[in-house]
Chains A and B, each alone.
Chain A
Amino acid sequence: RKEVEQDPGPFNVPEGATVAFNCTYSNSASQSFFWYRQDCRKEPKLLMSVYSSGNEDGRFTAQLNRASQYISLLIRDSKLSDSATYLCVVKGIQNNNNDMRFGAGTRLTVKP
């Protein structure tokens, strides 16, 4: 199993659609999880952290399933500006709470 594995994508959706991305991780002891957003030829930026109870920020909802070792990101009412690559990040992959691992990213294109 890869350390951090994401839906390969790409996802092409119309404006207003709901889209969900999944990310699985290899170490059940990992403690911290994040979703980052990366626009084309730009640096990654934090979208949201993922907490055990799940969390929501406007149209974005992140959830954690420890039993199945995956996290998800749900985007409701997609906007053109949501077009980007979404990166799953897991901290503590190698039984070291400080190591950081990114997934390969899932590209989303929202079309008019």
Chain B
Amino acid sequence: EAGVAQSPRYKIIEKRQSVAFWCNPISGHATLYWYQQILGQGPKLLIQFQNNGVVDDSQLPKDRFSAERLKGVDSTLKIQPAKLEDSAVYLCASSLMTGVRADTQYFGPGTRLTVL
């Protein structure tokens, strides 16, 4: 079974530039998560989709971050404009369903973003 795919794996940009990340979840997984993981910290949930609807985006900095999941499959996360503090690994995860006790998230390899 193919895992969660993410691209690009690495990205270096200058501050104030824009950047976009792509995620393809495991086939059949209804829930998709985007996390930001700063070095030395745990993953911070940015946004959670169930199919193409948003379940939780309370920690998404909406002035510069946006995400969409058209057709309830692939998702893109965009940062515009980027700041130095956005340097982090952006992880995408998917799970089969929500509201189920034994829900398990499967993570992609992440995109390592460096903002100069």
Residues of A at the B interface (CB closer than 8 Å) are 4, 6, 31-32, 34, 42-46, 49, 87, 91, 94, 96-105
In the bound assembly, the distance between CA atoms of A102 and B107 in angstroms comes to 14
Contact A45:B107 (CB < 8 A) given known A98-B48, A98-B55:
yes
- Could you say which residues of chain B place their CB within 8 Å of the CB of A96? 55-56
- Pick 11 A–B contacts, CB within 8 A, sort by A: A4-B42, A42-B109, A43-B110, A44-B43, A44-B107, A98-B50, A99-B48, A99-B58, A100-B105, A102-B35, A103-B42
Instruction: Tell me the complex Cα distance, A31–B56, Å.
Output: 17
Residue numbers of B with Cβ under 8 A of A are: 33, 35, 40-45, 48, 50, 55-56, 58, 91, 98-99, 101-105, 107-110
Q: Are B107 and A43 in contact (CB under 8 A)?
A: yes
| Contact A98 to B91, CB < 8 A, known contacts A32-B103, A44-B43 | no
Q: How far is the CB of A37 from chain B (nearest CB, A)?
A: 11
Residues of chain B lying within 8 A (CB to CB) of residue A104: 40-42
Which B residues are CB-close (under 8 A) to A101? Answer: 45
Q: For B35, what are the chain A residues with a Cβ–Cβ distance below 8 Å?
A: 102
User: When chains A and B are docked, how far (Å) is the Cα of A34 from the Cα of B35?
Assistant: 17
Which of B40, B58, B98, B107 touches A94 (beta carbons < 8 Å)?
A: B58
Tell me whether A99 and B101 are in contact in the complex, defined as CB-CB below 8 angstroms, given that A43-B107, A43-B108, A104-B42 are known contacts. Answer: no
| Chain B: CB-nearest residue to A107 | B40
| Cβ–Cβ contact A105 & B58, under 8 A | no
